[in-house]
Chain A
């Protein structure tokens, strides 16, 4: 039976029978895992042998790491360079005359603080909205019986089958006819209630199904209504699934690019990804130091949070990462397929749709 600790380390309905082989596929990586502390076998290969091989091994990894780390480093250091030195030869790994003029420019060329706020509030609002409405729908699909339930669930799942690029033209027309072009409404409404929220609903449903029903029965005997059972019993038990939903929803909304460029025209309403591409001079040439300063300000907060959360994310939340993956590029429908496939392969979910 699940315990509090498995709830915390496994985000999406991991039913663990500690030590049995059918769950090994979802075993968390060694460093951060409770499983490792409990002495489960992790790390399938033999340790690297001689010192010579060790040097070779770490050397190879370090070389491979360059294209993953260097761009971020280059973004940060170049944002501190004056525009005259930004293409200096030979390339400087650290600016010889660091300056903040790029950062000043980011705020004077565009209403960057306002755009930052737009991105932030939309992402937070959509994340909270998705957590609420998707968990409600997921709970109802998992626990409440009502006529037409299976049909409605299928209807919802179609949201996973359609890439958002396919529906962008009619959605533009729809919001145009409602007078919502050049407002944030399309971004908020479509991401909270439309296709992007379906994966969250699917995950919440799968998670609720794996929860023991006895607690809810106890709640009912105590006279609680459905809402209270959902809100006070089921929801607190599904913190880890909610956390995964929150993370991928936030990142997805934070990175939306096509939708804002289609719906928004006023710079004061822009979101960050859209604003980043607009730091150009009168001839359309990029103002690189400003652009890189703005990019740094956009990327760094999430990156810092990630570095601290990485042991948890890459350790316990393998499936959380799966979900990210699927949602990162708005591949919502693949999220469902992949979730189902992964679940089938690992016994991860309680029940397939």
Chain B
């Protein structure tokens, strides 16, 4: 166990009261004591930062959520559970949650399928694989807003994509201004941006599938398809779980893309929960209700994560 190596060497000898110590030791702190102090000093910046910038705000959103707080009007008064009642009766919440669900599910399915496809294609010992990996990964390092702006430009009614479609005689839709295509566009832009990361994870997992198992299956007459679904997929299921958690929870935090591409529109068809939260708090200045939405978001993230880690026991094989 690595932990054993972390014990401070020589600590037992330096502990006061254990080893016989000369009188002057009473005034000079022992090595262990000084070491403890060093430990506290080393972790102090991080621990204070977390206390101030994570724990305190977390307490504050609960406090705020019991208040009616309009920053512009300067009102701040205790309203009890009113914000939570507002949450339940908010006519916008249902469409917002629906948009959130569509976005998250669409994103996960498309992202994982494409990532796995790319990884399987690139997991070969032939020329050019590093080149293609670089290509598929490159959007990851392109500035998020820059990437989104280009796609916004491409998806304009008279933009590049409709231009290309027109060349082959198709009159493309106004992608970002019609409900269904707006949602699809946001999903697709986000997938192309980040699928390279899941691809790299899948590549690492695929290279971990023992060749002997594959050869044995092949010798038993397994087809390529059987090999993939019966051998490869179960063996990389821990990575599939990992990437799906990351992608789902990440999808709940997508803000910049929506702000740049659709501003939540048309109507509120692409207003996902995060966007709604920021809108309520900083555009409409309802800090109290914004905090209530933040609690909802936090709750969803927490529940999804716990659920998925519970699921792990059901469908992830061969985890050591």
Residues of A within 8 A of B (CB): 21, 24-27, 29-32, 41-48, 57-58, 60-61, 64-65, 67-69, 71-72, 74-75, 78, 87, 89-91, 133-134, 136-137, 139-147, 149, 152, 155-156, 158-159, 161-174, 189-190, 192-195, 197-198, 201, 209-210, 212-213, 217, 220, 225-227, 230, 251, 254-255, 257-258, 261-262, 272-274, 276-277, 286, 288, 291-292, 295-296, 298-299, 302-303, 306-307, 310-311, 313-315, 318, 321-322, 324-326, 328-331, 334, 337-338, 341-342, 344-347, 350-351
A302: nearest chain-B partner, CB-CB:
B141
When the two chains form their complex, are residues B54 and A162 in contact, meaning their CB atoms are under 8 A apart? yes
A contact residues around B180 at 8 Å (CB): none
Q: Is the CB of B130 within 8 A of A299?
A: no
Consensus secondary structure, chain B interface: helix
Please tell me if the beta carbons of B150 and A314 are within 8 angstroms of each other in the complex: no
The minimal Cβ–Cβ distance linking A74 to chain B, given in whole angstroms, is 6
**CA–CA, A306 and B143, complex, Å:** 12
Nearest-Cβ distance from residue B115 to partner chain A, whole angstroms: 11
Docked complex Cα distance between A121 and B183 (Å): 36
Contact call A325/B201, Cβ cutoff below 8 A: yes
Contacts of B290 on A, CB cut-off 8 Å? 169
B164 to chain A: closest residue by CB:
A91
List B contacts of A159 (CB < 8 A): 50, 54
CB distance from B138 to the nearest CB of A (A): 6
Q: Which 8 A-B pairs have the closest CB atoms?
A: A193-B49, A43-B125, A25-B208, A194-B53, A325-B197, A140-B42, A170-B60, A146-B39
Contact A295 B130 (CB under 8 A): no
Total contacts A to B, CB within 8 angstroms? 398
- A residues less than 8 Å from B164 (CB atoms): 91
Answer yes or no: B64 CB below 8 A from chain A CBs: yes
Please tell me if the beta carbons of A338 and B245 are within 8 angstroms of each other in the complex: yes
Q: Which of B36, B47, B277 has the most C-beta atoms of chain A within 10 angstroms of its own C-beta?
A: B47
Q: Contact: A71 with B253, CB < 8 Å?
A: no
Residues of A within 8 A of B167 (CB): 90-91
Given known contacts A137-B46, A155-B55, A209-B2, is B126 in contact with A48 (CB within 8 Å)?
Answer: yes
Q: Is the CB of B45 within 8 A of A213?
A: no
Q: Give chain A residues whose Cβ lies under 8 Å from the Cβ of B278.
A: 165, 168, 258, 262
When distances are taken between beta carbons in the complex, the residues of chain B under 8 Å from A295 are 143, 145-146, 149-150
A139 to B54: give the CA distance in the assembly, Å. 22
Q: Are A74 and B150 in contact (CB under 8 A)?
A: yes
Contact of A166 among B34, B61, B154, B201 (CB under 8 A): B61
Q: Which residues of chain B are near A65, meaning CB under 8 Å?
A: 132, 135-136
Asked if B181 lies at the interface with its beta carbon under 8 angstroms from chain A, I say: no
Are A147 and B36 within 8 A (Cβ)? yes
Apart from A25-B207, A328-B140, A334-B246, 4 more pairs, CB < 8 Å: A43-B207, A140-B39, A156-B46, A162-B58
Contact residue among B2, B138, B200 (Cβ-Cβ distance under 8 Å from A210): B2
The verdict on A44 contacting B123 (CB below 8 Å), with A156-B47, A189-B53, A276-B149 known, is yes
Closest CB in chain B relative to A44 CB, distance in Å: 6
* Docked complex: B10-53 residues within 8 A CB-CB of A: 10-11, 34-36, 38-40, 42-43, 45-53
Q: Are B204 and A26 in contact (CB under 8 A)?
A: yes
Asked if B253 and A330 sit within 8 Å, CB to CB, the answer is: yes
Q: Is the CB of A310 within 8 A of B39?
A: no
Cβ of A31 and Cβ of B3 under 8 Å apart?
no
Q: Which residue of A lies closest to B287 (CB)?
A: A169
A residues less than 8 Å from B144 (CB atoms):
255, 257, 273
Tell me how far the C-beta of A124 lies from the nearest C-beta in chain B, rounded to whole angstroms.
16
Contact A331 B250 (CB under 8 A): yes
A165 near B129: Cβ-Cβ < 8 Å: no
Q: In whole angstroms, what is the CA distance A78 to B159 when docked?
A: 11
In the docked arrangement, what's the CA distance between A351 and B147, Å? 38
12 contacts between A and B (CB under 8 A): A57-B121, A64-B118, A134-B46, A136-B46, A146-B40, A168-B281, A173-B287, A302-B141, A306-B141, A307-B134, A334-B246, A350-B2
Chain B nearest CB from A167 CB (Å) reads 4
Asked, given contacts A25-B205, A169-B294, whether A277 binds B57 with beta carbons under 8 Å apart, the answer is no
* Contact partners of A346 in chain B: CB under 8 A: 208
A149: which B residues are within 8 A, CB to CB?
Answer: 39
Contacts of B254 in A (CB 8 A): 329
Interchain CA distance A190-B53 in the complex, whole Å: 6
With a cutoff of 8 Å between Cβ atoms, the chain B residues found around residue A209 in the complex are 2-3, 5-6
